[in-house]
Every structure is written in C-alpha cells, then in structure tokens.
Amino acid sequence: MTESKREASVRLWRICFDDPEPFIDLYFHEVFRDDDTLLRYSETGEAVAHLQMLPYQLRIFGTSFSAGYISGACTHPDHRGKGIMHTMMTEALSVMYDRGDVCSFLIPAEAWLYDFYSRIGGYAPAFGRKQILYRPNSIPRKSPRGYTCTIGQGDYSFLSAEEQMDIRLAVQHTFGQWQTALKDFSLAGGDVAMLQDGAGKTVGQACFVPRENSLDVRLLVGDTEVAFILVDHLLRSLDCDHASILAHSGSTPYGMLRILRPIPILEAFAQYHPAEARSFVYSDPLFPQHNGTYHISKGHIAFSDNIQPERSLLPHHTPDSLVKDLFSPFPSTLFLMLD
C-alpha cells in the first residue's frame, strides 16, 4: 500500500531527527498539513526527502507580510549528497512565491547549514539569539507590592502586543501557534507564567523549563525591570538559584531570511525610513521578474527593469546581500518555533 504524505513524513522524521514520540505526535497533529509539505521519491517510489513550508506572518518595518517557514527539511541518510535538498529548496521557494509569500525564513539545525542555505537558497542571517546566565546575589523573599505572578497561565494578547512592538523584523504568532508552543513546553516539563500589576494588567510573561537547581527560560517578554521580577518569582517558587535566559542578540545568528518579493519589503523600508535615499541593482536568478534597478527616496521606491544589471555602475544586490543590508545588526530573535 502506498504511503500517505503524512505517513512518509513521519517515517523520515523518525529516521532523520532525534525527537521523542510525544513531540512527533504533537507536531503531526497540530502543525502538519499535506498542502504545506514537499516530498522527493527514489526510483523505487520511496519517499527519501521531506520539508514543510509553514505559513506565518512576519512584521517587517511596521507592515505584516505572509512568510513561509521551512520546517523539518531532511534527506534519508542513504540518499544524501545527491543534490536532492537543493532541488527541493528551489521548488519550495517557487511554491511559497506562488501562494503569495513575500519572504521565507528558517532556523539551521547546525552551524555549517548557514552556508548551505545561503548557497542553495539565497538565505542570509537576519535573526540573532544568545543565552544569558542570570544568577542574582540574593532572591527577594517576595515580589514587590502590587505584582501578582501566576504559573500555568499565559496571556496571548500580551505576547501578540509585544510582537507588534518589534517593528523592523518579528514573527507574529497566531493563537493556534501560541497554543501549540505551550503544548511543546508542557511535553518538555515546562510551563508558562505571567506577571500582572495591581490593576490586573499583564506586564511580563515567561515560558520556562525547570532543571536541577536552575531555570531554562525559553521566552521572556516585558520591560526589563518587571521581566526580572517575574524571573525572581519563578526562581523562588521553583527553588532554583539561577536562570539561563534566551535573549535577542544583534550579532550571534539564529535564523535566516530569504526575500521572495523585494518591492513590498522595500516599500515598507522606504516608509519606515522616509529620509533614506539609495539606488541599487537587484538580481535574483530564481525570480528574474524582479531583476532591475531600484531607487528609494522620500518614502517611495521606483523600479525599472530596463537597465541590464551587468552594465550598471550602481551597487549590486542579490537576495542574500539585500537581507544583510536591511537587517544588520540582527533586529530580533526567533522564539516559540518548535525548534
């Protein structure tokens, strides 16, 4: 009997990734969709490579755009080194373009894959993340007056509002994506907590996994001072003496971006930077309809496809170099991506 897309994807996932069964069950129940999945088959008809193009929203220079998140990209060990993933990534970019996505993003599983995805797909680092060790000299015996911490309850509206504040580049999670991320934390033995002020307004939120004597904080949002009031409360409540906190980094890459449609992004950039003036030639071998000269001035852009890029004396950009130009240093990080 022929495998379904789901069955083939699960089989390859188990072979290629060292994920526990509860996570696989969660992923393929909550996240997987046939229409978002690509498979490659061997000459015998066996599925040997897999990736998914999950629909997300990215907020870029104050405007929300549809984007495709590459998830679960893998090739069966017996079929690696044959260029299969290269052709799959090319097809995936075309599929995402055809469905209207403005860009695509991914998180390389290993450091060497940054160069791989740059070469085969035109991706470039655009998100940054680092780990902060927080070890207070002393943990307050109780939270400051007026603040209340609730463990086991999150506030999606607060998270969404915080993501809206990351103007230059940020993922905007749907309520469903938020719920799935919380289920993932639960599988890992983690939980969510929120901090509210005296008026009952949420002012901080954290997703965390308790370890022996320490706290692994995977998400911490809110103003710095109140966010650490929340961390102190968690350390005290869970009898931990320090926390490892994932935080934004402007220089340590954690995630890559690929521009599919430059005009909408450049329009948002021009409106965000009305005083910016620049001109350049853009060349994308996969989507040549966007090749040409771009002029940015006074909050507007102009595009011309009449100038041959090789004859122009203007600066040249490709999809990856344009990402580096627009998003350096890295403006934000990636959280809650089931990575």
Domains identified in the chain and CATH numbers: 5-127 (3.40.630.30), 130-252 (3.40.630.30), 261-326 (no CATH)
Q: What is the pLDDT of residue 146?
A: 86
- Per-residue pLDDT of 69-87, as tens digits, reads 999 999 999 999 999 999 9
Query: Residues 87-93: what's their mean pLDDT?
Result: 98
The more confident residue out of 250 and 166 is 250
Confidence band (pLDDT; 50, 70, 90) for 143? Answer: confident
The DSSP bridge pattern shows strands 300-304 and 292-297 to be antiparallel
Confidence band (pLDDT; 50, 70, 90) for 26? Answer: very high
Q: What is the pLDDT of residue 145?
A: 80
The DSSP bridge pattern shows strands 169-172 and 278-282 to be unpaired
Confidence band (pLDDT; 50, 70, 90) for 58? Answer: very high
- Per-residue pLDDT of 274-326, as tens digits, reads 999 999 999 999 999 999 999 999 999 999 997 665 667 899 999 999 999 99
CA–CA gap between residue 39 and residue 51 (Å, rounded) = 7
Task: List beta partners, residue 216.
Answer: 209, 244
Token pair for 166: 């990351």
Nearest Cα residue to 104 out of 274, 241, 255, 280:
255
Percent of the chain scoring above 90 in pLDDT: 89
Contact present, 104 and 96 (Cβ < 8 Å): yes
Nearest Cα residue to 71 out of 109, 45, 97, 41:
109
Cα–Cα distance list, 52 to 177, 178, 181, 200 (Å): 15, 19, 17, 40
Query: Residues 115-119: what's their mean pLDDT?
Result: 97
